[in-house]
Structure 1
Amino acid sequence: MVIPGGGGELSGITGVILAGGASSRMKRNKALLPIEGETFIGRTYRKLKVLFPELLLVTNTPELYDFIPCPKVPDFYPGAGALAGIHAGLMHAATQHVFVVACDMPFLNESLIRYLCGRGEEGDIIIPENHGGVEPLHAVYSRRCCDPMQESLSEGRYRIIDCFNTLSVVKVSCEEVERIDPHLLSFRNVNTPEEYEMILQGVQGKGKRG
């Protein structure tokens, strides 16, 4: 994997956006929620397209995302959650590594993404920590993860961390992350209407101060 310093595209790694969640608590498709004149997923695509030469959207309903101009790829194990999405991204990617992100994280930090991708050769999984644990939907995965993930999926074990015991996992400490993203905004996502309203209030307040 070749990761250039400074700006420019990240060669040797594919960006993967997961858009397969049920949004059960939100009662609406989180990916299509509006924020500052665009959708959550449109915002994610815009931020990642300048970083990755190859960008994939994992979804089993590609017709909903015709406005996103990148390849849409399906799960091999529909209904098996985010682990199936990561597995599909790895299987469809042309590169040996992928950076995976959920579609409902509106405050992605380019510097943090570059930092994580730059450490991609250190292990099978490069995963950041927050104050409550790890962030598997904002992490780098190697193609070496494919077989363990497929085994877990085939056995009906759908937790992402079920694969960790058989892989080399490098955890990027919360302290390291905070040096780049002091308020850990990269990991903020939306699962409920209340969380969505808080995010909207936050971006509106930021706009007023700016």
Structure 2
Amino acid sequence: MTIAGILLAGGRSRRMGKDKALLPLPGSERLTFVEHLNAMLTTCCSEVVLVARDAEQAAEYTFAGIHTITDEAPDIGPLMGLYSGLQAITASHALVIAVDMPFVQPAVVRLLLSQPLDDALLVPVVNGFHQVLLAVYPRSILPAVEERLRAGRRDPRSLLEVARVRSIDEAQLRAVDPQLRSFVNINTPEEFANLK
């Protein structure tokens, strides 16, 4: 089995006021969030795709080595981003990361990719919540994603209701990422300022 990387970047970043994917990575101001995450995934995935909302947003991502695609239909939400990304890859599974999670630790990626892969979603659980935007999805889930989209759903979390799920519990995650930094997402200028 092969693993692709899918970076979800199609949100409007309304609370941030600018595209979160293009924010400078704290501690390494020369790299943006998206460049950092793409570089990390490139080391462990057979292919990496960045899913943008539309052609206008995709034009902002002109970095070398980043393969950008667009949502099949814009402004539907992250479930459409997941669908578009899974449609675009050739691998059997994809590690999906939201682009506003810049502190994903390589050790957490290795933990996820070391698990047996089948037709189940592989989803970390932190504070009792499934972390669906840092998870491994089988490409075979596409029909269920289509069904959820037809039902008007926009969120990957809705797949938990219809798919088989294997959870990675918090103790396993803390063993490799004690502060659970991998699951910090940045949504507002205040949150971003607090990182510096």
Task: Please tell me whether residue 142 in structure 1 is matched to residue 138 in structure 2.
Answer: yes
Task: Please tell me whether residue 155 in structure 1 is matched to residue 151 in structure 2.
Answer: yes
Could you tell which deviates more after superposition, 58-67 or 117-126?
117-126
Counterpart Cα distance in 2 of 1:129 and 1:101: 15
Question: Normalising to structure 2: TM-score of the pair?
Answer: 0.91
Deviations 1:34-61 (A, max 9, x none): 1222211111112221111211111122
What's the C-alpha RMSD, in Å, of the aligned pairs? 1.4
The one-letter code matched in structure 2 to 1:156 is G
Counterpart Cα distance in 2 of 1:47 and 1:29: 20
Point out which structure has higher relative CO (alpha carbons under 8 A, 6+ apart): 2
Change (3 A) 1:22 1:120: farther
Could you tell which deviates more after superposition, 146-155 or 65-74?
65-74
Shift of 1:190: 0.5
Change (3 A) 1:189 1:126: same
Shift of 1:129: 1.0
Check the 8 A contact 2:79/2:153 in 1, yes or no: no
Residue of structure 2 equivalent to 1:49: 42
Task: Please tell me whether residue 33 in structure 1 is matched to residue 23 in structure 2.
Answer: yes
Name whichever structure is richer in strand by fraction. 2
Out of 15, 20, 29, which is 2:10 matched to? 20
Counterpart Cα distance in 2 of 1:144 and 1:131: 28
The one-letter code matched in structure 1 to 2:169 is S
User: Which segments of structure 1 move beyond 2 Å, counting only runs of 4 or more?
Assistant: none
Change (3 A) 1:77 1:103: same
Could you tell which deviates more after superposition, 140-149 or 161-170?
161-170
Task: Please tell me whether residue 172 in structure 1 is matched to residue 168 in structure 2.
Answer: yes
Counterpart Cα distance in 2 of 1:120 and 1:164: 19
The one-letter code matched in structure 1 to 2:12 is A
Counterpart Cα distance in 2 of 1:29 and 1:129: 27
Q: How many pairs are equivalent?
A: 190
Q: Could you list the runs of 5+ residues in structure 2 that have no partner in the other structure? A: none
Check the 8 A contact 1:120/1:140 in 2, yes or no: no
Counterpart Cα distance in 2 of 1:40 and 1:103: 7
Shift of 1:123: 4.5
Check the 8 A contact 1:112/1:180 in 2, yes or no: yes
Could you tell which deviates more after superposition, 151-160 or 175-184?
151-160
Task: Please tell me whether residue 62 in structure 1 is matched to residue 82 in structure 2.
Answer: no
Change (3 A) 1:136 1:125: same
Check the 8 A contact 2:119/2:140 in 1, yes or no: no
Question: Normalising to structure 1: TM-score of the pair?
Answer: 0.86
Residue of structure 2 equivalent to 1:4: none
The one-letter code matched in structure 2 to 1:192 is T
- Aligned residue for 2:122, secondary structure, equals strand
- Aligned residue for 1:111, secondary structure, equals helix
Check the 8 A contact 2:46/2:91 in 1, yes or no: no
Name whichever structure is richer in helix by fraction. 1
- Aligned residue for 1:150, secondary structure, equals helix
